[in-house]
Amino acid sequence: MPAKYTFFTTHELKPQGWLLRQLRLQADGLCGNLDKVWPDVRDSAWFGGDRDGWERVPYWLDGFIPLAYLLEDADMIARAKRAVDRILDRQEPDGWICPVSLEQRKDYDLWAALLLGKVLVRYYECTRDERVLHALRRMMKNLYEQLYTGRVKLDRWGSYRWFEGFDALRLLWETGPEDWIRQLALLLERDGVDYRMAEPLWERPLNKWSFGTHIVNICQMLKSEVLSCDLLGRGESGQAEHFYRKLKQYNGTAVGTFTGDECLSGISPTQGTELCAVVELMDSMERLYAYTGDPVWAERLERVAFNALPATITEDMWAHQYVQMVNQIDCTPFPGKSYFRTNNSEAHRYGLEPNFGCCTANFGQGWPKLALTAFLRAGDGVVSAVPLPSSLRTEWKGTPVCVTLTTDYPFRNRLHYRVEAGEDTDMKLRVRIPSFARALRVNGSSHARRAELIFDGFRKGVNEIEISFETEAVLEGRPHGLRCLRRGSLIFSFPIEAECTRVEYTKKDVERKYPYCDYDYKGISDWNVAFAGKDFLVEECGIADIPFSESQPPLRIRAALCHIDWGLADGYETVCSPVPGNRKPLDKPAERFLIPYGCTRLRMTELPLV
């Protein structure tokens, strides 16, 4: 079946409000400057240099390209074009495009080729550059011939990410269907991994690295069926929902992600989640919502995007963690054995490339792709999918239409739509209403809550719609008798004061220098707290230039907390015990503030109720 919704382009959809400020922070931070400061991109073999010639440049471009065009930043657009031109200029006469010699092709992990195909699709959508479409067709035709004849093989990372090549195949089929495209689709599936075989491994995570439990593989895999089923001639069976529920049961976190440091790590709030997994999970949820139209995927997306994504990157977006912890009381390297199952002792440090550089290159896709999910195209009009401040300029049956959403959601629950039509139009505007919305009002009048509001047709000129609703602050159950505080899509945490130390050095010819240096966050305030009641008072604050600011959070919740003898993880001074050692209150309850999880660097999120 065809996808229920499709994505608009960066020319049609533009961010506004707090989302625009967040994207500008990213452009002014590490993602927007990586080609200037990081040797693995700046001096990459993709550009004729001697550094990484595998996933890092394509990863970076996957976020940098849509960011440049969403912001209409002339310098970034020029740099994106220069990067793509240099890759295309090095394409071999037979269509091979990856930066290795003829003799090295048989040993090259083809995951990078599949990823580059996805990047070229994104660039084509932004530019409609026919050179790119031609190069992409030659590249994928060559891949088909190489796989068919056995000169190369799909294994290692490529076999676990086989479905990532289908963005390119779908575009090629839509612009010029040829039989080899379907044949390549079948070859990729044939040589790819069936994750049903790995599913039993997810129930009992081990201190052992494996492809089948690798968190990024798994987060990418969730979208595999909806990416591939049409070209493979099959229907969507709900595979993603089955896998998601299984993963959530055994490895879920309070912020909608799965633990993985770097492989699945169970349900402890002190195990980490890799940043690559956060942005890849978002990408999968965006695709799943667009394909199925099931609002559950959009709501899950919000939970990940508004909590896990901002929390694992510094406010200026120059440094990031490799893994974040839901209960994270300190972010300094462990002096001895790593606490994590398969990561090193600095994986939770904020820096340039803590633990490994994949997240350095890859985290940039998170915010731009989310921005492109604000509005989606439906068969009968436009869908407001994730209520982000945005403006859409498009046409409906030849009539120019501009739909603008002014909102501070998720910090506020008011949505103002302005629909300007060149002529009377029968275009429908569908507005997804989250399941947690209460006391729904439309244009000032009470309205029964439903999953979707449909506004059917608009008059020539300006049409305005005002929607508001309320959300409650509620405690949600977590494993081991713990709770987390949620209001709408936002999870709230008890913030821990940190002493931040800048760390500058050079390692393996890679310089860490302000602002692209490392930062150690040493916890210096109390953290051993528990909920002491179920009454919560929400206080709205001003929304700062930095939307997810710790010093100026957009809202906070006043709660009764008390201290308990929580205890530390065995053998560690900077990790709290996964579960409290003793839940008996040590003092009388006192009012303290919790702030959005995404605003914190150090925090306690899963707490007992005593």
pLDDT confidence of residue 175:
96
CATH class of the domain at 376-407+414-470 = mainly beta
Q: Which residue carries 């439990």 as its tokens?
A: 213
- What confidence category does residue 595 fall into, taking pLDDT thresholds of 50, 70 and 90? very high
- 483 forms beta bridges with 477, 607
- 418 forms beta bridges with 404, 464
Q: Is the pLDDT of residue 449 over 90?
A: no
The first and second tokens of residue 87, run together, are 């890759």
Give the residue from 399, 402, 395, 373 showing the smallest Cα distance to 386.
373
- 506 forms beta bridges with 511
State how far the Cα of 199 lies from the Cα of 247, in Å rounded to an integer.
9
Q: How high is the mean pLDDT of the chain?
A: 97
Cis amide prior to 262 (ω within 30 degrees)? yes
State how far the Cα of 385 lies from the Cα of 295, in Å rounded to an integer.
8
Residues 6+ apart with CB under 8 A from 386: 298, 301, 302, 305, 370, 373, 374, 432
- 58 forms beta bridges with none
> What does each C-alpha distance from 493 to 183, 261, 496, 598 come to in angstroms?
50, 21, 9, 9
State how far the Cα of 261 lies from the Cα of 270, in Å rounded to an integer.
11
Give the residue from 541, 447, 437 showing the smallest Cα distance to 488.
437
State how far the Cα of 57 lies from the Cα of 41, in Å rounded to an integer.
6
pLDDT confidence of residue 448:
87
Cis amide prior to 515 (ω within 30 degrees)? yes
- Residue-wise pLDDT for 214-231, tens only, equals 999 999 999 999 999 999
- Residue-wise pLDDT for 90-143, tens only, equals 999 999 999 999 999 999 999 999 999 999 999 999 999 999 999 999 999 999
DSSP secondary structure letters along 160-215? HTGGGGHHHHHHHHHHS--HHHHHHHHHHHHHS--GGGTGGGGSS--SS--GGGBH
Give the pLDDT mean for 600-610. Answer: 98
CB atoms within 10 A of CB 33: 18
Q: Is the pLDDT of residue 1 over 80?
A: no
pLDDT confidence of residue 450:
85
- 518 forms beta bridges with 503
Q: Are 350 and 330 in contact (CB under 8 A)?
A: no
Q: Are 11 and 69 in contact (CB under 8 A)?
A: yes
DSSP secondary structure letters along 596-608? EGGG-SSEE-SEE
Q: Which residue carries 């689709």 as its tokens?
A: 185
- 536 forms beta bridges with 559
- What confidence category does residue 2 fall into, taking pLDDT thresholds of 50, 70 and 90? confident
State how far the Cα of 527 lies from the Cα of 511, in Å rounded to an integer.
34
- Residue-wise pLDDT for 174-184, tens only, equals 999 999 999 99
pLDDT confidence of residue 121:
98
The first and second tokens of residue 305, run together, are 């995007």
Q: What percent of the chain has pLDDT over 70?
A: 100
Element (H, E) at 303: helix 295-303
pLDDT confidence of residue 480:
95
Q: Is the pLDDT of residue 35 over 80?
A: yes
pLDDT confidence of residue 279:
98
Going by their DSSP bridges, the two strands 425-432 and 381-384 should be labelled as parallel
Give the pLDDT mean for 388-398. Answer: 97
Whole-prediction pTM:
0.98
pLDDT confidence of residue 98:
97
Give the pLDDT mean for 427-443. Answer: 97
The first and second tokens of residue 331, run together, are 């972010």
Residues 6+ apart with CB under 8 A from 352: 30, 38, 319, 360, 510, 512, 516, 517, 518
Give the residue from 327, 330, 357 showing the smallest Cα distance to 606.
327
- 503 forms beta bridges with 518
Q: Are 41 and 34 in contact (CB under 8 A)?
A: yes
Residues 6+ apart with CB under 8 A from 172: 136, 137, 140, 178, 181
Residue 195 main-chain phi, psi, to 5 deg: -70, -10
Q: Are 313 and 351 in contact (CB under 8 A)?
A: no
Give the pLDDT mean for 516-537. Answer: 98
CB atoms within 10 A of CB 560: 16
State how far the Cα of 250 lies from the Cα of 245, in Å rounded to an integer.
9
What is the number of alpha carbons within 13 Å of residue 506 lying toward its C-beta?
5
State how far the Cα of 423 lies from the Cα of 396, in Å rounded to an integer.
10
3-state SS assignment for residue 8: coil
- Amino acid code (one letter) for 370: L
- Amino acid code (one letter) for 22: Q
Give the residue from 465, 421, 424 showing the smallest Cα distance to 445.
465
- Residue-wise pLDDT for 44-93, tens only, equals 999 999 999 999 999 999 999 999 999 999 999 999 999 999 999 999 99
Residue 275 main-chain phi, psi, to 5 deg: -60, -40
Element (H, E) at 390: strand 390-396
- Residue-wise pLDDT for 322-354, tens only, equals 999 999 999 999 999 999 999 999 999 999 999
Where does CATH 2.60.40 sit in the chain? 376-407+414-470
Cis amide prior to 410 (ω within 30 degrees)? yes
Residues 6+ apart with CB under 8 A from 447: 440, 441, 453
Give the pLDDT mean for 513-537. Answer: 97
Give the pLDDT mean for 352-366. Answer: 97
